[in-house]
């Protein structure tokens, strides 16, 4: 049994220690906002927060999350109470196919938590997610915008 606090609720899962957090989240907990892209920590589609830090859940063994706070993209915000990043994402019309974007937004949210005022270069370094549709310039513009919004 592995106990984690998933999106604020303590839960136990009867899974192998080496089951990646991604598959626990998507299939055991049924939260499908977190995406599978590569399974080898290359693309970032599966990004979630463990104790506030962005991790690539496809290579993060469930046991490593034992007794930790795991937050998925479902906690980011909603239409009625959007996160500043979500507002900026719409303003800049960021997504194309959209598949990578929940991972993008989670990586960006962690970045802003660590660095409320990132430079373009900080963003380049922090945002190593893959977007096959090539939305990078808009992702960057949206993060800069959201940072401004949060700090104002």
Partner 1 sequence: MSMTRRMFVFGGAAIGGGLALGVIGLGTHLAVHDRLAVQREGNGKDTLLNLWLRVNQDNTVTLLSPHTEMGQGAGTGLTQIVADELDLNWDQIKLELAPPSTEFSNGGVFEGFIGEMIGKAPKWAEHIASNAFNRLADVLNMQMTGGSASIRFTGWNIMREAAAAARQMLINAAIDKHSASANTSTDSGFVVDGDNRWSYGELVEHAATLAVPEDYVLRSPSDRKFIGKAMPRHDLPDKVFLKTQYGIDRYVDGMRYAAIAHSGVFGADVASIDNLDEIIAMRGVLAVEKMGLSVAVIADNPWRAEKAVKALKITAASHENSDISSASIESFQRQSLQGELSDAHAVGDVTSVQDGTGETIEAEFWVPYLAHATMEPMNASAWMEGNKLHVAAGVQNPLYVRAHAAKIADMDIENVVFHAHSMGGGFGRRVGFSMSEDNPIMWIDEVVTLVKKYQFPIKLTWSREADTRQDVYRPAILANFSAQLDENGKPSYWKSASYGSEGGAPAAMTPYNIGNVQVQFANHPSPIPVGFWRSVENSQHAFFNESFIDILAEKAQTDPIAYRLSLLNKDDDHAKCLTEVAKLCNWQHGVSDDGKAMGVAVQKSFGTMVATVAEVSLQNNKARVHRVWVVTDSGVVVNPDSATAQIEGGIMFGLTAALYGRCDIENGGVKQSNFHDYPIVKMTEAPIVKVKLLQSDNIPGGFGEVGVPTIAPAVANALAVLGKRLTRLPINA
Site for partner 1 in 95-124 (CB under 8 A): 95-102, 105, 123-124
Measured distance CA(32)–CA(13) in Å, rounded = 17
Q: Give the residues across from 5 on adjacent strands.
A: 10, 69
Contact status: 32 vs partner 1 (CB under 8 A): yes
33 binds, among ligand FES, partner 1, none (CB under 5 to 8 A by kind): partner 1
Given the complex with partner 1, which of 78 and 151 has the nearer CB atom? 78
CA-based torsion, 12, 15, 19, 23: positive or negative: negative
Contacts with partner 1, residue ranges (CB under 8 A)? 15-16, 19-20, 22-23, 26-28, 30, 32-33, 35-40, 42-43, 45, 73-74, 77-79, 82, 86, 89-90, 93-102, 105, 123-125, 127-140
């Amino acid at each position: 049994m592995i106990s984690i606090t998933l999106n604020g609720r303590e839960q136990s899962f009867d899974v192998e220690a080496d089951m990646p957090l991604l598959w626990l989240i998507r299939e055991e907990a049924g939260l499908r906002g977190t995406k599978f892209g590569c399974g080898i920590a290359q693309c970032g589609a599966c990004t979630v927060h463990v104790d506030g830090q962005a991790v690539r859940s496809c290579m993060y063994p469930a046991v490593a999350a034992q007794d930790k706070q795991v937050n998925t993209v479902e906690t980011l915000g909603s239409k009625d109470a959007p996160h500043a990043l979500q507002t900026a994402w719409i303003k800049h019309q960021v997504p194309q196919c959209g598949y990578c974007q929940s991972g993008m937004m989670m990586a960006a949210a962690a970045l802003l938590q660590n660095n409320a005022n990132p430079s373009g270069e900080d963003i380049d370094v922090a945002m190593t997610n893959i977007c096959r549709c090539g939305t990078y310039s808009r992702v960057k513009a949206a993060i800069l915008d959201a940072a401004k919004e949060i700090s104002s």
